[in-house]
Structure formats: structure tokens, C-alpha cells
Amino acid sequence: MKQLPNAFREALFIIQTIEAAGHQAYFVGGCVRDLFLQRSIGDIDITTSATPEVILELFDQVIPVGIEHGTVIVRHAHVSYEVTTFRVEGKYSDQRHPDSVEFIEKIDKDLERRDFTINALAMDKNGTIIDLFQGEEDLKRHLIRTVGNGVDRFKEDPLRILRAIRFSSQLGFSIEEETKQAILAVKPNLEGLAIERITKELQKTFAGDSVTNGLNYIHELEIDKHLPVLKELPLLQVLPRPIKPLQSLAEVVCLIHSLKQDLSIRAITRNWKCSNKIVKESLQLHEAICYYKLHGLDNWLVYQLLPDLHNSFSRLTDILFPKKVETIQLASLLDSLPIKHRSEIKINGNDLVSMFPNETKGPWIQKLLTAIEKQVVLGNIRNETSLIKDWIKWNPPVTN
């Protein structure tokens, strides 16, 4: 066996500590799958026969995040590891959490409760794989297949339908035929899921390297008919061309609104229960896209667009316009701006008031400052007090 990658070796301490106390412990799930596929490893998850109480005693830094479901976080050398006790699950009657979990002694039933064969692999400290459901074979064949009967598994937790789509998008895999049929049979149950769970999976689907693969499945299996927002538009048909991965949900919101204007950003983000941050970013991106449509790329656009949104804006232009705006264009424009912030303007509200002593104070001050700001940013007036004052004389404030 080749030496394990660093991320795994750093986690060995946890497995060894648990084993030294007389229990079993394995790497499990996504990390084993991604190791096989030579993808970058996300989180390292560990499954163990030790109960959460034992784990709490064995390690100094343990966060009991989901202790009743058998999950705790162990911190070691500044990294968090999810450590979950072998368990079998009861029914998911609220479609969010299993009603009950039972801790067990052996790993086999724990692997059996996992969603897909490619996610049901475990690996011991020496790199030996436990593969009870031909997960390795499916990894080689690029197949997403449920562990056990698809209809039963999707009924237990319909979120698995969206996870299948999400993995098809992240990994570029196909959904195995029987699993596909099971999705068709159970997809109406998606409507009972908590929106936050749906949105999380959709976000990962849109960000996957093979996003078109995922979108094709959503379309082919008509899953969109049962999903908030997507039920309102045949996304694949209204997209001007195949898209590249969209890294944030705000981009997806802005894209959908651009493709179907009567779906407002407020409505989309409400239906998807997005955070305020996503709402704000979506609105800002939308404003930039509208401005770009009218004026093209100029100083004012870059001045107003937060640098954090450069990548998002660039990816959106790639879909919505004939030519993509590259982030390097945005960065170099930003670099050459005459000012970066309003406070740098060489005139302020008080100066304006003293220029027009007969006018009562009012909204005209802000309006004029914004007009000046725009002229300075666009390079139409140099940022010098006397030149700005000259400009004001020719463009006096509209007051009433």
C-alpha cells in the first residue's frame, strides 16, 4: 500500500487513540471515495464502534455537535474531524432526521445505511478498504448506485435524490439505471423536504465541475417540477449555452432572474430561504449586470462592484453575454481608478453648502456629491477642489 496522503496521516492519531482504547475506527465516506478518485479531500470523517461518551473521554477537544445521533467533532492539530459511532437509523418521519438511532458494535450495518455504494467505503489505518457493496467497482465505472433498494432508500430520505444529482455534477458520474428508475418513482417526495437541505444540495450541484451533467439529470428525470424556484422555469432550455460551474448561490439567483425577469431576486431568495448575505450579493451582481448591459465595462462599474464579487460577475458575463469579462480586466481597471472611495473626493457636503448659501440643506447635497463622485470616477473631472468647483458652476444643483 502506498503511503497515505497527508490529510489521512494527520488523522491517524485519532484512529490509533480509539483503537488503543479497545475500539474499532475507520476512515469512511467521501474521503475514501475522493482518495480513490484522486480528488482533493474535503473533510475526513471517521466511523467508530466507540460511543460518543467514550470519544469525549479519549480526546481533549471534543464538540458534541450531534451527540444524540452519535456524531461529535474531534479537534486535533487545528483540524476538525467528524467522528460518528456505528449506527442504524430509524424512520425519517419528519424528512430531516431519523426518528431514532441505535448504536451498534459492527461496521457492516453502518455502511449499509449510507446512501450510495461509492460513499459506503471504509478504510482502516493501513489503507485496507472495506467494500461491502462493490463501491470500488462503481467508482471505476463512474456509477452512482444506491446501497440496497433505491425506492426504499429514497423514501427513507428523499434528499438522497438530490445527493445523487449533486454527485453526478461533482464527479461527472452517471446514475445507474435502477437508481434512476427509483428516482422517478419517489421524486414527488422531494416536496416534503426542508428547503434549507434542498438549497444546500442545489448549490453544490451548480458548483460541480460537471454541472451540465447534473442539470441534464434534473431535466431528464423532471426533478425540477418538485423543487422551489426551478419548477418555475425549464432552466436547461432557457440557458443560452452550457454553463461552467457557478461557485456561489448568489450567481445562480442572479442567473435565474436574468433568464426569467418576472422571477424577482426577492422571490427566488425567499423561496430558497437564502441568507441575507446571499440576498445582498445577488442584488449587487444584478445591478452590475444591468449596468454592464447598458454601458459596458467602465470605471463606474468596477468602482461599485465589490472586489469579492469580481469572480462571480466574470462567470455570469460568460453565460449572459457573447464575450466574457475576465477578472484580470476588472482588477486592472480597479487599480487605475482615480479614487477608490467617496471619502477621497476633494470636496464635501459643507463645501457645497457654503457654495450655495441661499439654498436650504436637503437631498440636493447627496445628489450633487454622487454626481461629482461619478464624474471623478469616470475621469471626466480631475479630483481637484478648484476643478470640481468649476464643474459645479456649469452643473448647478437642482433644488426645490
Binding mask 266-305 for ligand ATP (x = CB under 6 A): ----------------------------------------
Structure-block grid coordinates of residue 356: 450655495
Q: Binding residue for ligand ATP (CB under 6 A) from 27, 30, 208, 375?
A: 30
Q: How far is the CB of 125 from ligand ATP (least distance, A)?
A: 19
Q: Which of 397, 228, 246 shows the shortest CA–CA distance to 317?
A: 246
Q: Which spans in the chain are helix H?
A: 6-20, 30-36, 52-58, 107-112, 135-141, 150-156, 159-171, 177-186, 195-207, 211-220, 235-238, 249-259, 265-271, 276-295, 299-304, 310-320, 327-335, 349-355, 364-377, 385-394
Name the residue with the smallest CB distance to Mg ion: 30
Interface stretch with ligand ATP, choices 111-119, 125-133, 238-246, 251-259 (CB under 6 A): 111-119
Give the strand pairing for 25-28 and 122-123: antiparallel
When the beta carbons of 45 and 176 are compared against ligand ATP, the nearer one is 45
Q: Is position 192 an interface residue for ligand ATP (rule: CB under 6 A)?
A: no
160 binds, among ligand ATP, Mg ion, none (CB under 5 to 8 A by kind): ligand ATP
When the beta carbons of 45 and 251 are compared against ligand ATP, the nearer one is 45
115 binds, among ligand ATP, Mg ion, none (CB under 5 to 8 A by kind): ligand ATP
Q: Binding residue for ligand ATP (CB under 6 A) from 119, 169, 258, 284?
A: 119
11 binds, among ligand ATP, Mg ion, none (CB under 5 to 8 A by kind): none
Q: Which of 167, 255, 256, 251 shows the shortest CA–CA distance to 209?
A: 167
CA distances in angstroms from 308 to 185, 273, 285, listed in the order given: 42, 22, 11
Q: Are 69 and 87 in contact (CB under 8 A)?
A: yes
Question: How far apart, in whole angstroms, are the C-alpha atoms of residue 285 and residue 306?
Answer: 9
Residues in 28-47 that interact with Mg ion by CB under 5 A: 30, 43
Q: Is position 90 an interface residue for ligand ATP (rule: CB under 6 A)?
A: no
Size of the site for ligand ATP (CB under 6 A): 12
Tally of residues, the chain: 400
Q: Is position 202 an interface residue for ligand ATP (rule: CB under 6 A)?
A: no
Question: How far apart, in whole angstroms, are the C-alpha atoms of residue 96 and residue 102?
Answer: 17
When the beta carbons of 84 and 284 are compared against Mg ion, the nearer one is 84
Interface stretch with ligand ATP, choices 52-60, 112-120, 304-312, 335-343 (CB under 6 A): 112-120
Phi, psi angles (nearest 5°) of residue 123: -140, 135
Size of the site for Mg ion (CB under 5 A): 2
Q: Is position 114 an interface residue for ligand ATP (rule: CB under 6 A)?
A: yes
Q: Is position 160 an interface residue for ligand ATP (rule: CB under 6 A)?
A: yes
Q: Binding residue for ligand ATP (CB under 6 A) from 159, 345, 352, 368?
A: 159
Interface stretch with Mg ion, choices 8-16, 25-33, 150-158, 388-396 (CB under 5 A): 25-33
Q: Are 46 and 26 in contact (CB under 8 A)?
A: yes
Residues in 241-280 that interact with Mg ion by CB under 5 A: none
Question: How far apart, in whole angstroms, are the C-alpha atoms of residue 114 and residue 194?
Answer: 20
Q: Binding residue for ligand ATP (CB under 6 A) from 110, 115, 201, 281?
A: 115
CA distances in angstroms from 160 to 108, 153, 201, 229, 353, listed in the order given: 20, 8, 10, 19, 63
**Residue 18: strand, helix, or coil:** helix
Give the strand pairing for 79-85 and 45-48: parallel
As a whole number of angstroms, the longest Cα–Cα distance in the chain is 87
When the beta carbons of 204 and 257 are compared against ligand ATP, the nearer one is 204
When the beta carbons of 89 and 251 are compared against ligand ATP, the nearer one is 89
Residues in 42-61 that interact with ligand ATP by CB under 6 A: 42-43, 45
Q: At what angle do helices 310-320 and 327-335 cross, to 10 degrees?
A: 130
**Residues interacting with ligand ATP, by CB under 6 A?**
29-30, 42-43, 45, 114-115, 119-120, 157, 159-160
